[in-house]
Structure 1
Amino acid sequence: MSASSLLLHRNLFSFTFSSANTILTKPYFATSIKSMEEAQHNLPSTDSSISESVINRNYPKPITAPPPPISKDIELNRATEASSKSILFNLTRDHILYEDEWLMAVNKPKGIYCESVLSSAPQIIVDSQLNEFHLANRLDRDTSGVMLITKSHKVAAKLVKVFTEHKVRKSYIALCIGSSSTPNWSRITVKSGHGRSKHGAWRVYGASDVGRVLPGGSFVRDMETTFEVVSANGEKTKLCEEERVIVVEEGEQELSCDGDGEKDDVVVVVRAFPRSGRTHQIRLHCQYLGIPIRGDVKYHGLYEWRGRRFEGHELHAECLSLDHPVTGDSMVVRAPLPCWAAAGDG
């Protein structure tokens, strides 16, 4: 495939999203990521400067802002602290949410790396002779909640397929800080692109940019999350049957998330249902919606607020629903909510 056809191929298809009060039609990139990679690999090598120039001129532009400069030092301090805590961490029976002979679900604490949870798992399991423990899903360092650990290679392979085919229903809960006013929606779905910018930071891209080449040779991938407002300023929100749908496009800007960290800010607790599994997906979409997660300094969340400094973002993996990889039975695993989720106003 030539460079020109590679760049034009993305405009061949379209699709339509509809809801009770929103109908949006946007261009859609229908070629698989694999074919894109093959196309890039097969670009003519006789004139690499021309090929590189063509690609460079057509890098998609990210929608959301890059991390603020202050985030680098804060994230480094948080990582150092988490490393120290993770070295000393030991999984206990109190962390176990579910267990059978094939797998177990644990409630990962905030500020602990997944690898430390996995490495300590054999210590609390009596019949762990196989020593074939694997993480079925991963959570960010500061994200707490449900994490699955399998006890054999075969079960791990089955769960990888289940997650890859998006047959697991996941729900998260997050405490966000918006500016000035509460969201004008109670339920919303955001469809966008996802990828790394030239500076290496994860960013939101336009939905029609899915499949396009990014600096470094990676590609924009699809990303979709549905959000529901649980409460605003401590008051429960009644969900409407209507669902708003936003399809993010290049040239748009993220919704306003400017706030001074004082009385004008609105505390919003949201429940998130990611329909894809991209890195930092919920955090990125919260930033785009103008309600960054409290403490999430990398994505413009307030880390100092009302006289208190937050040591990590407030995002919790609340529930996993799936068919058991061996028995086929439906299973739902829930983790207890952290205090900030129950209180609603921190």
Structure 2
Amino acid sequence: MQLQHTIEKAVPLQEIAEALMPATGAQIVTRGGAWLNGQRVTDPATPCQPGQMLALRLPPAGGYTDVVLQASDILYEDAWLIATNKRLGWYVNATPWDAQGHVLAALQRYLHARDGAAPPLHLAHQLDRDTSGVLLISREPAINAALTAAFAGGHVAKTYTCIVAGVPDASGEVRSGHGRSAKGLWRTYPLEEVGRELPSGGGRVKLAHTSYLRQRILEDAAQVQCTPHTGRTHQIRLHMALLGHPLLGDSRYGGPSVYAGISLPGHLLHAAHLALKHPHTQEVLAISSPLPDLLQRLLIP
């Protein structure tokens, strides 16, 4: 949700924001939700000029997400890399309404408090807001190109744990096309459509490939280990839904929002393990993340 306003007279940003939204205007600016002529502005004293377009972007109904990292959230650290244990509900990067409540900003704050300064940080990959687990971050710009190439080239082994609705086959593979729908949402396409040009600048249909292994049968559900061989957006979520077994909590793709009497805060997908050749030392680096409390609770026999 956003409010747009054309500036009529030269006044400081915060004065206009508070006039437009008396209860929340100042907080919107502080959190980074003010955009002036398409550029994020965080300084409340920024002078606004007549004719400029101001957009105030509001957070979702749940409000702002406050992310605070502690030493126990650091899974691995050396002079070049740092891996955090991302929690369900945490954004990994800034959103249009919030430049503070995400993992990258929280890690900068943590390192600054611990070390007196924070190095330039760069996300090696992305995790959805509700996907928990291993998140790898570069702390040395010299390795960024090699790290990006490793993920883009499929040289990083990733293993996910999820809980799906129903009971899938013991193991299997899913190969499909992947791209945006006419409404801009991610979807699968038939495999034979890989390479087809999508309308309205939507790019081409790309190959998506996932293998899975059923680990445990639950009550009308199952614990499944998934290995993505390509790195498409929402790939595991889409492929499990394509099989007729959407993730628990994944209402976007048909998953139930309640299981075993528990209201689920999001989809149950956990980045459990990540392995790659270290971009500096060239040694194999393997990082694991323990299952979050909610998954452990649901998996207790």
What's the counterpart of residue 153 of structure 2? 165
5 Å-filtered alignment, 1:124-273, equals 124-125=110-111, 126=114, 129=117, 131-178=119-166, 182-183=167-168, 185-217=169-201, 218-233=203-218, 266-273=220-227
Alignment-mate amino acid for residue 270 of structure 2:
H
- Does 1:289 find its partner at 2:243? yes
Which deviates more from structure 2 when the two are superposed, residues 268-277 or residues 152-161? 152-161
Counterpart of 1:84 in 2: which secondary structure? coil
Letter in 1 for 2:104: L
Q: How does 1:286-325 map to 2 (within 5 A)?
A: 286-325=240-279
Task: Give the C-alpha shift of residue 299 in structure 1.
Answer: 0.4
Q: CA deviation at 1:159?
A: 0.4
User: Structure 1 CA distance, aligned partners of 2:277 and 2:248?
Assistant: 33
The unaligned stretches of length 5 or more in structure 1 are 1-77, 234-264
Deviations along 1:41-81, whole A, 9 cap, x unmatched?
A: xxxxxxxxxxxxxxxxxxxxxxxxxxxxxxxxxxxxx9543
Count of matched residue positions in the alignment of Structure 1 and Structure 2: 232
The superposition leaves residues 283-328 of structure 1 with CA deviations (integer Å, 9 ceiling, x where unpaired) of: 0001011110001000000013343321211100001011111001
**1:52 maps to what in 2?**
none
- Kindly report the root-mean-square deviation, in angstroms, between the aligned alpha carbons of the 2 structures: 2.0
- Aligned with residue 119 of structure 1, among 93, 105, 109: 105
Instruction: State whether residues 108 and 147 of structure 1, in contact with CA within 8 Å, keep that contact through their aligned partners in structure 2.
Output: yes
In structure 2, distance between residues paired with 1:329 and 1:139: 24
Query: 5 Å matches for 1:24-39?
Result: none
Verify the 8 A CA contact 1:231 1:344 in the aligned structure 2: no
2:38 counterpart of 1:84: no
Q: Secondary structure at the match of 2:220?
A: strand
| Structure with the higher fraction of residues in helix conformation | 1
Which is richer in strand?
2
CA distance in 1, matches of 2:199, 2:260: 39
User: What is the identity, as a one-letter code, of the residue corresponding to 2:196?
Assistant: R
Q: Distance in 1 between matches of 2:60 and 2:131?
A: 13
How far apart are residue 216 of structure 1 and its match? 1.8
- Give, as a single letter, the amino acid of the residue that structure 1 aligns with 2:92: C
Q: Which runs of 5+ in 2 are unaligned?
A: 1-58, 94-101
Say which of 107, 110, 115 aligns to 2:85: 107
In the TM superposition, residue 340 of structure 1 has moved relative to its aligned partner by 4.3
Give the TM-score normalised by the residue count of structure 1.
Answer: 0.63
- Which position in structure 2 is the counterpart of 1:255? none
Native 8 Å contact 1:176 1:268 kept in 2: yes
CA distance in 1, matches of 2:124, 2:234: 17
Q: Taking CA–CA contacts closer than 8 Å with sequence separation of 6 or more, which of the two structures ends up with the larger relative contact order? A: 1
Separation (CA, whole Å) in 1 of partners of 2:69 and 2:255? 30
CA distance 1:118–1:284, change in 2 (3 Å) = same
Note closer, same or farther for the CA distance 1:127–1:324 as it changes in structure 2 (3 Å cut): farther
Aligned to 1:114, what secondary structure does the other structure show?
coil
Distance, in Å, in 2 between the alignment partners of 1:208 and 1:269 is: 30
Cα pair 1:268 1:344 within 8 Å, conserved: no
Query: 2:170 corresponds to which letter in structure 1?
Result: S
- SS of 2:64's partner is helix
How far 1:343 sits from its partner (Å)?
A: 4.9
TM-score by length of 2: 0.72
